[in-house]
Amino acid sequence: MKPIRSAICALTCLLLPAVTSAQDSLPFPPVPSGSKAGPTIAQSVYAPAKPVDRLPADAPNVLIIMLDDVGPALPETYGGPIHTPTLSRIANSGISYNSFHNAAMCSPTRAALLTGRNHHRVGFGQIAELANDWDGYTGHWPATTASLAKVLGYYGYETAAFGKWHNTPAEQTTSQGPFDRWPTGRLVGFDYFYGFLAGESSQWEPAVVENTIRLPAPHREGYHFTNDMTDKAVSWLRRHKAVYPDKPFLMYWAPGASHGPHHIFKEWADKYKGKFDAGWDVEREKIFAHQKQLGWIPGDTRLTPRPATLAAWNSIPEDEKPFHRRLMEVFAGFTEHADTQAGMLVDELERLGLRDNTLIIYIWGDNGSSAEGQHGTISELLAQNGIPSEIKDHIRALNELGGLDVLGSNKTDNMYHAGWAWAGSTPFQGTKLNASHFGGTRTPLAISWPRSIKADKTPRTQFHHVNDIVPTLYDVIGIKAPGKVDGVTQQPMDGVSMKYTFADARVPGRKGAQYFEVMGDRGIYAEGWFAAVWGPRIPWVPGVPPGIATWSPDKDTWLLYDLGSDFSQAVDLSGRNAERLARMKALFDKEAEANLVYPVGGGLWSVVWSPQSAPQNPATEFEYTQDVVGIPEFAGPKVGARSNLVVIEAELKPDSAGVLYALGAFSGGLSLWVDKGKLSFEYNLFEIERTRLESAAPLPLGKVKIEVETRIAAPRGAADIAVRVNGIEMAKGRVPRTAALAFTANDAFDVGIDSYSPVSLAYFDRAPFKFNGRIDRVHIKYLH
């Protein structure tokens, strides 16, 4: 036996890496025992093998901070109007990049950031809630693209993620799982997660998940999610230091800020009162001058003009301007608050003595500023559902709730006018969802690592992308991207290491070709040039563009920019350099085919051609009991968008009160409840239209059968509602318009309670308004 065991030991030891070497196949093989077993303890030798150190002794801690929907021109660190003390702190103690890029949309950027691959290669050519069946758009993270957390975890890092996730299939976010694509799931690999899974959330009543447990809504005064997630992150750091003082950590901290809804305490918004009174055109000019003054952008940069499809500030009616000013003040306060909360992490690293050897990567935005609020809104999913509205509708509804000071509270899901997003993109043309122009994709990056990076205020101008972060960290730590993980052969890295820029701001860039594509809006970078195509859908133009169903990418007009002399993509050279443009177009096609981009524009499928094919529960009948609550909307019954019959078997008493079932939130949803002997139904179309039905006759007592029948003739069309009790019609009415896609991204369907944000003002102050009686059964069936 001894020769065999010795041979196995020798082979295994050869497979184990030295401290600074790297493993091609993960996980590592088990370390053989150093002890020798005999028939008895007396005949045995107990000599445990020393733990194998997979990492260099000075392997750095890693903290990745990434904000959401914040444009490149916003932080005061680089010339913008919003106070960003933490970003400035990181930049001033390290280095900054002014030609760093994201993927122009939330889920795609996060997939690329955490894997080192292009976003379509990870199945995220579209956000998780609008995924489809083409390989590049599935929203299903593949085992062939192991995450940074999984790889570093195998090497010995402790890993945690906080805040917004947005990379789990929308239909798999219920408390029943499956959990393999959740942050702590086997295909992703974080040790700990605290945050929300969807693309956005109320910051006051969020649907928070801790690891794989869905938590109840806080419903308490003074709560805000960014504060909550920061407190959890600080606690995690303290536990890490206490329990694993010799292990490095990876922390991914990505708040919901400043994605809509823009929710923040009034005092933070009030910091910006009057600051934006001159409007977005003037603000853009001020930012541009300041960017040049700081040397953040080249002195010969041109300020691109306002698109013809975007309103000038002077064209806004005077009585609407206070609304638009306050929307921007709220956004600015929300953003400063998030940056300040990030500073608490840096403070804690210093208190724990970890700051010197912590590599902090601060990515200012997973995409550019969002123009999805379009003309300004108190309920942002109006636009995503393709429902037109007028500003007067929003102001009227807002005034009914208490006026401008309600903006930012839990009674609105406000988003600012697209003009403010354009100002936040200075000096560029695009916004979020524009993969063709840098307002959508270019984001400031600051890196600080006191032990190894000397502070230098000279901007790094090398062209880089979020897919370069993982290769950079592997390079810094001294490991390589594994060829196999958990027995699965890995796709090659698309990113390249940026470590070569740490010590030299002017070293030539090493990035090869990089494509960009979101819903048909696309571009390609190579050798200092950029070719671009505006997509068929302009983010700030409301509704579904006419003729989009017959759009073909073959008919699009390409533009060409020389980035060496044109920092802002202001001068189209396509007419003067046809040969280079042809090469760039061919290069895009090559990259698109290799990276699963085809069909170009595939991300539009669930937006334009087939909204009902968006991720959802495939069932057509549903059976619920009273203990079934918190079903995420994308996994629940679409009772607001499809014809259906809801049958409730319950027991009513003289004092019966509470919600029987609810879907959505105060920003949009529907609810059926009992109160003061009456049965009420409300269809809340994103706050601007509330249709309330109420029973006139007294409700019977005892066991009852309640039916709510909804007939919707066409997507976004009217709905005819009939409410019956024991076969007798108690109320009926017509909802003028309906939500075709969804009411919310992160709220829920509930039985016997309205668990997160309350749908109706009628019981807003009594939320979650739990039903005080018994519900035996809720059956839901789609009608044809």
What are 305-324's pLDDT values in tens digits? 999 999 999 999 999 999 99
Average confidence (pLDDT) over 752-781 = 97
Helix (H, G, I), strand (E, B) or coil at 144: coil
Q: Would the pLDDT of 539 be above 90?
A: yes
Q: Are 495 and 519 in contact (CB under 8 A)?
A: no
User: Phi, psi (5° rounding) for residue 423?
Assistant: -60, -35
Query: What pLDDT is attached to residue 1?
Result: 36
Measured CA to CA, the distance from residue 657 to residue 675 in angstroms comes to 5
Measured CA to CA, the distance from residue 536 to residue 723 in angstroms comes to 42
Q: What is the pLDDT of residues 14-37, one digit of tens each?
A: 333 334 457 899 999 999 999 999
Average confidence (pLDDT) over 478-486 = 97
Average confidence (pLDDT) over 726-750 = 95
Average confidence (pLDDT) over 721-729 = 98
Beta bridge pairs of residue 196: 164
Please say whether the structural domain 61-511 has been given the CATH code 3.40.50.920.
Answer: no
Residues 6+ apart with CB under 8 A from 18: none
Query: What pLDDT is attached to residue 606?
Result: 83
Give the pairing type, strands 748-751 and 192-196.
unpaired
Closest CA to 217 of 637, 651, 758: 758
Helix (H, G, I), strand (E, B) or coil at 161: strand
User: Phi, psi (5° rounding) for residue 75?
Assistant: -75, 135
Exposed (0-12), middle (13-18) or buried (19+): which is 314, by Cβ within 10 Å? exposed
Q: Would the pLDDT of 755 be above 50?
A: yes
Q: Would the pLDDT of 239 be above 60?
A: yes
Measured CA to CA, the distance from residue 200 to residue 219 in angstroms comes to 18
Q: Would the pLDDT of 384 be above 70?
A: yes
Higher pLDDT, 467 or 6: 467
Q: What is the pLDDT of residues 570-627, one digit of tens each?
A: 999 999 999 999 999 999 999 999 999 999 999 998 888 776 677 778 899 999 999 9
CATH of 619-782, one of 2.60.120.200, 2.40.40.20, 1.25.40.20, 3.40.640.10: 2.60.120.200
Average confidence (pLDDT) over 369-374 = 95
Average confidence (pLDDT) over 655-681 = 97
HEC letters along 73-128: CCEHHHCCCECCHHHHHHHHCCEEECCEECCCCHHHHHHHHHHCCCCHHHCCCCCH
Average per-residue pLDDT for the chain:
94
Predicted TM-score of the model (pTM):
0.95
Beta bridge pairs of residue 732: 722
Query: What pLDDT is attached to residue 21?
Result: 55
Query: What pLDDT is attached to residue 612?
Result: 66
Identify the residue whose tokens are 């509470």. 658
Identify the band that residue 547 occupies on the pLDDT scale cut at 50, 70 and 90.
confident
Identify the band that residue 5 occupies on the pLDDT scale cut at 50, 70 and 90.
very low
Measured CA to CA, the distance from residue 632 to residue 745 in angstroms comes to 8
Q: Would the pLDDT of 779 be above 90?
A: yes
Closest CA to 349 of 61, 637, 664: 61
Residues 6+ apart with CB under 8 A from 540: 307, 309, 310, 371, 374, 418, 421, 422, 431
Domain ranges of the chain: 1-54, 61-511, 619-782
* Tokens of residue 343, six digits: 């500073």
Identify the band that residue 388 occupies on the pLDDT scale cut at 50, 70 and 90.
confident
Lowest mean per-residue pLDDT among 42-56, 329-343, 357-371: 42-56
